Amino acid sequence: MTTGGTETGRTETGRTETGGTETGGTRPVDRSTGPDQPDGGRDVCELGATGERTVLVLTHTGRESAVSAARELVELLRDAGLRPVMLADEVTEIPGVEDVPVLDLSDVEDHVVLGAEMVVVLGGDGTILRAAELVRHRPVPLLGVNLGHVGFLAESERDDLARTVGRIAARDYVVEERMTLDVRVLRDGECLSTSWAVNEASVEKADRERMLEVVTEVDGRPVSVIGCDGVVMATPTGSTAYAFSAGGPVVWPEVQALLMVPISAHALFAKPLVTSPRSVLAVEVLSRTAGGGVLWCDGRRTAQLPPRSRIEVTRGEHPLLLARLTEGPFTDRLVAKFRLPVEGWRGPDDGAPAEAGGPSGTPRGAPAPRAADEG
Residue ranges of the annotated binding site for NAD(+) are: 125-126, 130, 199-200, 210, 229, 240-245
Give the C-alpha separation, 260 to 183, whole Å. Answer: 14
Reference 69, options 129, 104, 11, 121; nearest CA is 121
- What whole-number distance in Å separates Cα of residue 241 and Cα of residue 222? 26
Burial (CB count within 10 angstroms: exposed 0-12, middle 13-18, buried 19+), residue 306: middle
Helix (H) or strand (E) holding 125: helix 125-135
Q: Give the residue numbers annotated as catalytic, written as ranges.
A: 125
Give yes or no for a contact between 212 and 230, defined as CB atoms under 8 angstroms apart: yes
Residues within the annotated binding site? Answer: 125-126, 130, 199-200, 210, 229, 240-245
Q: H or E element: which one contains 197? A: strand 190-197
- The answer to whether the beta carbons of residues 177 and 9 sit under 8 Å apart is yes
Q: What are phi and psi of 138, to 5 degrees?
A: -125, 150
